[in-house]
Each structure stands twice: as C-alpha cells, then as structure tokens.
C-alpha cells in the first residue's frame, strides 16, 4: 500500500471534456492522468486542441462530461469555492479590469482565502506577497499600477498572485504567451523550482515545446484530433507523438534535436560538415538548415551532396573551408557564418540552375 504522501495531488480517470447541455460537444474522452507533489508537467498541443478546456475541467471551473477528477484526494466538484481556492491556484488567459490596483494589490488577492472577514493581511501574508513578487522579478514595480504594465509584466504579476496563494497545485494556462525570450525561460525556471523546492504540483500549458522538453518532468499532449497522451518528454519526443501532433507541410519535428525544422519540397541539396561536436558545429548545422539545405547525416531520397565544410577554431572565432563536391580545387574560405551562408547559397543556386 502506498504512503499517503505519495498519493497524487491531482488525478483524473476516464475523464471526458467538452460542453454539455442539449447540444453536447465531446472534445476528448478517456483521459487518465496523475500529478504528484514535486512534479512539473507541461501541457502542449496545437491551437484548438483543448488544452484550456482540460485545465479548466481539472480545477473545477468547467464540469466534465464523464469521469472523475480528484484534487488533494477529494472529488473536485464536491469542494466548495473556498476549499478549491486553498488547493489550486490558477492563472488563465482571461483579461482583468484592474482599476487603480497596484502590482502589490493584485498579488495580495492571492492571500484572501486565508484572511479574516475584513480581508486584513497579517505579517505572514505580507511576507508571502513580497516573496512572490520577487520570485517573478517585479520587486522594482511593486507599487506601479497594474494597468500601466506591459502585457508581459502583467502576466508575471498574475503568476506572482498564484504563487502567493500558496496552494499544493499551481495551474498556469499559457503563462509565457506575452513574454520575451529571457522571461519565458525565467517562468519555466520558477515553475520547476516551485515543484522541486516546495513540493508543489505544477502544470503549465505552453506553445514553447523546446522549453517544455527541457524543463518539465512529464509532458501532457493534446493532438489535433483532441487525443490525450502523457509520459516523459523523451518518450513522447522519440515515439513520434510530438511529430504526429504538430508536423505540417514544409516543417517537421526532429526527434534528434528536439526542435522543428523546415523541409523543402522536391530535391534537397546536402552539405557535409567536417567538425567535432561543439558550439561551432551546432550553429553551422542551424545555418545549413536555415538555407533550406540538409546536413549530410539527414540525407534522404532525392538529396544531393553539393559541398563539404571544414571548421577550425581561430582566435577570433570559427574559420570555414568550403569544398564543392566533385571539385579538386581547394575551395573557398569564410571567416564568419555570414560569409559561409553567402557561399552556400550561391553554390545551391548554381546547382539548381544546372540541374534544370
């Protein structure tokens, strides 16, 4: 028998989600999932796949069509609003009319489930608010009006409110949608650290698949047909599940790199890279793919090798030597990625002309 401490904070069995009523629309069914304290799950899927609907159903904002959802060991739809507010803190994509409230005021709303009838904040509440604001990097803006913030800063403030609520479960619906690249990484760091350092269960929906693969303990996937699957990020990446959910015309998920890359229609030209693994080679591979070419180890039917590029490390950066396939000459030299890109583009264009 498992210890009670090992019991999932959030679980669903045979869950069907969608909209009920006379014109019932069943979006997805047969969903089974578990999330324990200390776990960080990332929910990914194409637009319209049902990610937000699933999250809203899991926390009791939307009724299931069938199945069960348990939150901290209790059926979520038997909990009162007050009971749910002490078990799950949520940030959804709804817009807020903040009036004249400051960042501190907005974050302080997260403490109201614990205040008295007059909603007075005690010392521990003020400490929780201050700590949450600092956790998302908004300490310098604590006294600024919420309405004066950028979209990204507002999103951070709402995440801070959820952190201040201090619940066993934290649910974030696309929290990185309005954030710049460093801030997106910061949100994933905060989510992972909350799970690991405070033992909370964290689930975050996102379109940042690269970050989800890097930071999440488990991946929840809703595909374009509203089918749910879950597992370790590495399992879903290598099984083809991510590709089946996201691949489209002209691009596909590369399980080797964990990223999407373009796929040119028709015949592809390939480039062989002669260099050890490292930063220079990694960026050279990205350059080759950016030009619509193929790195030699990605050769497929219809691909034609057009060049071999050797990379040496110089004092000022990598040095490139390009030799055209079938040519006995020394080839061309490039002292920057920009020069290499121009040489490869010119070579591919010349090969394309001669092949017509």
Domain 264-355 annotated CATH 3.40.50: no
Q: Long-range CB contacts (< 8 A, 24+ apart) of 192-196?
A: 192/40, 192/216, 194/40, 194/163, 194/170, 195/38, 195/39, 195/40, 196/38, 196/40
Return the domain boundaries, the chain: 4-248, 264-355
Domain 4-248 annotated CATH 3.40.50.300: yes
- pLDDT at position 161, please? 95
Token code pair at residue 111:
């403490």
Q: For residue 250, what is the DSSP state?
A: T
Please report, rounded to a whole number, the percentage of residues in the chain having pLDDT higher than 90.
63
- pLDDT at position 254, please? 85
Quickly list DSSP for 14-67.
Answer: EEEEEE-STT-EEEEEEEEEEE-TT-EEEEE--TTSSHHHHHHHHTTSS--SEE
List the Cα angle 102/104/105 in 5-degree steps: 65
Q: Is the pLDDT of residue 35 over 50?
A: yes
- pLDDT at position 301, please? 47
- pLDDT at position 99, please? 79
| Longest Cα separation, the chain | 86
Over residues 270-305, the pLDDT tens digits come to 899 998 889 999 999 989 988 888 887 654 545 678
Q: How far is CA 1 from the centre of its chain?
A: 35
Please report, rounded to a whole number, the percentage of residues in the chain having pLDDT higher than 70.
94
- pLDDT at position 351, please? 84
Over residues 2-25, the pLDDT tens digits come to 444 578 999 999 999 998 877 788
Over residues 64-118, the pLDDT tens digits come to 999 999 999 999 999 999 999 999 999 998 777 777 899 999 999 999 998 877 7
């Amino acid at each position: 028998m498992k210890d009670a401490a090992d019991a999932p904070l959030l679980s669903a069995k045979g869950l069907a989600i969608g909209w009920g009523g006379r014109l019932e629309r069943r979006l997805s069914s047969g969903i089974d999932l578990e999330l324990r304290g200390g776990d960080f799950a990332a929910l990914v899927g194409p637009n319209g796949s049902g990610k937000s609907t699933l999250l809203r159903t899991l926390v009791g904002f939307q009724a299931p069509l069938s199945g069960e959802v348990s939150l901290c060991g209790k059926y979520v739809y038997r909990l009162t609003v007050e009971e749910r507010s002490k078990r799950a803190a949520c940030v959804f994509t709804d817009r807020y009319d903040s009036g004249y409230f400051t960042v501190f005021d907005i974050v302080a709303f997260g403490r109201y489930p614990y205040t008295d009838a007059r909603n007075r904040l005690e010392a521990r509440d003020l400490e929780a608010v201050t700590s949450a604001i600092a956790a998302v990097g908004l300490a310098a803006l604590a006294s600024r009006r919420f309405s004066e913030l950028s979209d990204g800063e507002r999103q951070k403030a709402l995440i801070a409110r959820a952190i201040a609520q201090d619940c066993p479960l934290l649910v974030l619906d696309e929290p990185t949608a309005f954030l710049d690249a460093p801030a997106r990484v910061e949100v994933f760091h905060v989510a992972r650290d909350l799970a690991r350092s405070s033992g909370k269960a964290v689930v975050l929906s996102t379109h940042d698949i690269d970050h989800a693969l890097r930071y999440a303990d488990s991946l929840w996937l809703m595909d374009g047909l509203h089918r749910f699957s879950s597992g370790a990020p590495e399992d879903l990446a290598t099984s083809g599940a991510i590709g089946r959910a996201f691949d489209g015309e002209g691009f596909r998920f590369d399980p080797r790199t964990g990223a999407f890359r373009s796929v040119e229609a028709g015949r592809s030209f390939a480039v062989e890279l002669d260099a050890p693994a490292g930063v220079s080679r990694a960026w050279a591979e990205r350059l080759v793919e950016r030009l619509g070419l193929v790195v030699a180890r990605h050769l497929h039917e219809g691909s034609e090798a057009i060049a071999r590029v050797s990379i040496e490390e110089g004092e000022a950066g990598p040095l490139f030597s390009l030799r055209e396939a079938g040519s006995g000459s020394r080839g061309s030299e490039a002292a920057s990625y920009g020069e290499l890109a121009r040489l490869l583009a010119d070579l591919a264009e010349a090969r394309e002309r001669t092949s017509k």
